[in-house]
Amino acid sequence: MFGSIGVQEILLILLIALLLFGAKRLPEIGRGLGKGIREFKKASRDISDKITEEAEEREPEKDEPK
């Protein structure tokens, strides 16, 4: 999806963001976006770890004879 975005497109997006939000707000927006991405990655990692942990707990139950 993002493989076709070139340097010109990125510069255009940054220019539009600069015009919309102003130079003073861009660092604040960047920090907020970075924090949101970090929190999303942490939450997805926590969910993945929880699923893996529960799968490992259920695995011995399958090995027991019925």
pLDDT (tens digit per residue) in 3-12: 788 899 989 9
Answering whether pTM is above 0.85, one says: no
Domain map (residue ranges) of the chain:
23-66
Say if CB 21 and CB 29 are below 8 A apart.
yes
Say if CB 26 and CB 17 are below 8 A apart.
yes
pLDDT tens-place string over residues 1-59: 557 888 999 899 989 988 998 888 888 988 999 999 999 999 999 999 999 998 888 87
Q: Helices (H) and strands (E) in the chain — how many of each?
A: 2, 0
